[in-house]
C-alpha cells in the first residue's frame, strides 16, 4: 500500500522547504500546499496521513481551513503552526479541532516528536473501531457510528469526545488522571499548559447530561471517574 503523504500547508517557501526536507528525512512523504484553497483540495480527498497547518495564510486562515476539513469528514491529525503563541491562541486552535499546536520558531526535533505523537494517537483511535462497542450499565458507545446511547436515546460525539468517553468507560469506577487523558486521547507525553482536558471534558459532560447521564465526576487534585452506578437511563422503566 502506498504511503499517505503528510500535507504541509505553509505560504513561506523557506519554512515549507525546511519542513518538507525534514519530513523526507524522517521517512514521510511530504505534500506542500501554498494556499488554503490548495490545502482544502488535498485534505478533502482523505488520503492524508497528517496535516501540518500554518495558522496565518494569505487567502484562508488556518482556523477556517480546519473547520472546513473537519466538516467535510477529514479525520487526519492536525498539527497547527503559528507565531501566535499565547495560551488563548493555543486554546483557540485546539478547540477548533487541531490535535496539537506548535509555536514558531520551533526546533526540528520538537516538530518530529509532536508529529509522531499525533499520528500514534490517530492510529489508536482507528484501532478502537475494531474492538466492538463499549457498554457501562445502560450507557453504550457505538464505535462505528461515533454515537453514545442511553436506553433508546442517542447523541453524536466528535472525535475528541468519543475518545475521552471510550477511555473513561474502559476505566469505569477508576480514577483517570489528566496526564492519562493527555497521553491516551491527545498523544501528548508532556503537559501543553492549557485547559484542553478541562474544556473538552466540560463539553462531553454537557453532551452526556443532555442524554440523561451525569456519570462523570471530578475528584479535585486526583482526576476523573465515570461512575457505573450512574449509567442508567432515567426513563428505562
Decide yes or no: CATH 3.40.718.10 for domain 134-230: no
| Cβ contact 186:125 at 8 Å | no
Question: So what's the architecture of 6-126 in CATH?
Answer: 3-Layer(aba) Sandwich (3.40)
**Grid coordinates belonging to 231:** 449509567
| Cβ contact 80:55 at 8 Å | yes
| Cβ contact 166:61 at 8 Å | no
Q: Over its length of 237 residues, how does the chain's per-residue pLDDT go in tens digits? A: 457 899 999 999 999 999 999 999 999 999 999 998 998 888 877 688 899 999 888 888 888 998 888 777 787 889 999 888 777 888 788 877 888 888 888 899 999 988 988 887 766 555 444 445 789 988 998 877 778 999 888 888 887 888 899 999 999 999 999 988 888 887 766 676 678 888 889 889 998 998 889 999 999 989 999 999 888 755 443
Element (H, E) at 31: strand 30-33
Closest by CA position to 28, among listed 11, 47, 50: 50
Q: Is the pTM of this model over 0.85?
A: no
| Domain residue spans of the chain | 6-126, 134-230
Evaluate whether 6-126 and 134-230 have a shared fold: no
The CA distance from 69 to 76, in Å, is: 9
60: number of CA atoms within 13 Å, CB side?
Answer: 18
Amino acid at each position: 500500500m502506498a504511503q499517505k503523504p503528510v500535507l504541509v500547508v505553509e505560504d513561506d517557501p523557506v519554512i515549507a522547504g525546511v519542513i518538507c526536507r525534514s519530513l523526507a528525512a524522517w521517512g514521510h512523504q511530504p505534500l506542500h500546499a501554498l494556499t488554503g484553497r490548495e490545502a482544502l483540495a488535498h485534505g478533502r480527498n482523505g488520503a492524508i496521513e497528517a496535516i501540518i497547518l500554518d495558522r496565518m495564510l494569505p487567502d484562508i486562515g488556518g482556523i477556517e481551513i480546519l473547520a472546513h476539513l473537519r466538516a467535510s469528514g477529514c479525520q487526519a491529525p492536525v498539527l497547527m503552526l503559528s507565531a501566535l503563541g499565547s495560551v488563548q491562541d493555543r486554546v483557540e486552535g485546539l478547540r477548533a479541532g487541531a490535535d496539537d499546536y506548535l509555536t514558531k520558531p520551533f526546533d526540528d526535533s520538537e516538530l518530529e516528536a509532536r508529529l509522531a505523537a499525533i499520528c500514534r494517537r490517530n492510529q489508536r483511535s482507528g484501532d478502537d473501531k475494531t474492538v466492538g462497542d463499549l457498554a457501562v450499565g445502560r450507557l453504550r458507545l457505538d464505535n462505528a457510528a461515533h454515537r453514545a446511547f442511553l436506553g433508546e436515546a442517542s447523541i453524536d460525539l466528535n472525535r475528541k469526545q468519543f475518545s475521552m468517553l471510550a477511555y473513561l468507560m474502559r476505566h469505569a469506577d477508576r480514577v483517570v488522571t489528566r496526564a492519562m487523558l493527555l497521553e491516551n486521547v491527545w498523544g501528548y507525553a508532556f503537559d501543553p499548559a492549557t485547559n484542553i482536558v478541562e474544556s473538552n471534558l466540560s463539553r462531553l459532560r454537557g453532551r452526556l447530561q443532555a442524554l440523561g447521564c451525569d456519570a462523570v465526576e471530578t475528584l479535585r487534585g486526583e482526576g476523573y471517574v465515570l461512575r457505573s452506578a450512574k449509567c442508567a437511563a432515567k426513563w428505562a422503566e
